Structure 1
Amino acid sequence: MNGTSLNGDAQTEFRIAGAVVVHEDRVLLVRRRIAEGRLSWQFPAGKVELGESCEEAAVRETKEETGLDVIPAASLGERVHPITGRHVSYTACEMVAGTAHAADPDEVAEVAWVTLSELPQYVPYGLFEPVQRYLDAALRT
């Protein structure tokens, strides 16, 4: 697939890589400085650069947005995001080092470590089913 969306919209002609970072029974979310429609809180994510794998992009974006060093653990799947229309891949990542903070204040307003039971307060429209299944198994309430 070349990264264009099903509707061919020029805005969606690239892929987005998201990192699902679980640490101490919580998952890392970032709040975008500028929301995309209803999408405000989300996983650290950004554009996959030329020559970069989705896993590499997820690791890089997590470092750029939150200051955390992570390593990829597993691919959780891909979809066209129902709110943004962008092609998104999700990678489960393990934290290696650092303390999460809004490392890119132009893009990220704040970060939060969220429990499984708190997730619906941050992401009320639900998660991609493979990501939800992963979090159901990885997080204890």
Structure 2
Amino acid sequence: MGTSDVQAPALTYQLMTMCMIRDGDRVLLLNRPSSKGFPGYIAPGGKVDFPESLTEAAIREVYEETGLRVTDLAFKGVDEYVVPATGFRYIVFNYLATRFEGELLTHPPEGELHWISLDEIDQVPMQPWFRRRFPLFFEPGTFEISIVWDEEKQEPIAEKIKQLG
């Protein structure tokens, strides 16, 4: 059987959002417990529900996870994770919000909410992928992160980070 006879996997996509909320020299982060996956500090975000827009999803997810209504979102970039063996592409659309209203939830569903000073951010536990992405929210322009993943070896095949504009 030739290589042209090998059938490629069907492609699947998952669209996600993440929204960093900045208030002066501090940011609002969730401290996610291990039971929720991705433990440690992370910005609010989640799945894009069909047929909502990417921005609508970011606004909804922030409200559901924090109780805040964000406005004036700035698009900051895309982070994608691609698994060639399975045809899976996970895409996160990242935003920065500096205007919001409302009160923080007293019992947030995804983890404890904390305003963290940017001066102290290196001291809080984060997933390595989020720590890599974190400073890019505050750089001028947009970013693109692309990770191609080897599912069998459980390691990256290729990693690219580009600062655009």
Same fold by TM (over 0.5)? Answer: yes
Structure 2 CA distance, aligned partners of 1:8 and 1:134? 33
1:95 deviates by 3.1
By percentage of residues, which structure has more strand? 2
Contact 2:20 2:137 in 1 (8 A): no
Choose between structure 1 and 2 for higher RCO, CA contacts under 8 A separated by at least 6 residues: 1
Q: Name 1:109's counterpart in structure 2.
A: 111
Match of 1:123 among 120, 123, 126: 126
Conserved? CA contact 1:16–1:46, under 8 Å:
yes
Partner of 1:19: 19
Distance in 2 separating the partners of 1:18 and 1:113? 16
Tell whether the 8 Å contact from 2:72 to 2:99 is kept in structure 1 after alignment: no
Distance 1:103 1:57, change over 3 A: farther
Deviating more after overlay: 16-25 vs 72-81: 72-81
Seen in structure 2, the aligned counterparts of structure 1 residues 104 and 124 have a Cα distance that, compared at 3 Å, is closer
Map of 1:1-141 to 2, 5 A cutoff? 13-33=13-33, 34-37=35-38, 39-80=39-80, 86-101=90-105, 104-105=108-109, 108-120=110-122, 121-123=124-126, 125=128, 126-128=131-133, 131-135=134-138
Give the TM-score, by structure 2 length.
Answer: 0.61
Q: In structure 1, what residue type is equivalent to 2:79?
A: R
Matched residue SS, 1:51: coil
Spell out structure 1 runs of 4+ moving beyond 2 A: 7-10, 31-37, 99-105, 122-125, 133-137
CA contact (8 A) 1:64 1:103 kept: no
* Cα shift at 1:9: 8.6
CA distance in 2 between counterparts of 1:94 and 1:77 reads 16
Equivalent residues of 1:102, 1:109 under 8 A apart: no
| Structure with larger Rg | 2
Corresponding residue for residue 3 of structure 1: none
Structure 1, unpaired ranges of 5+: 1-6
Deviation at 1:135, TM superposition (A): 2.9
Measured against aligned partners, the alpha-carbon deviations of 1:115-136 in whole angstroms (never above 9, x if no partner) come to 11222223262232xx514436
Q: Cα gap change, 1:99/1:9 in structure 2, threshold over 3 Å: closer, same or farther?
A: farther
- Identity rate of aligned residues, in percent? 26
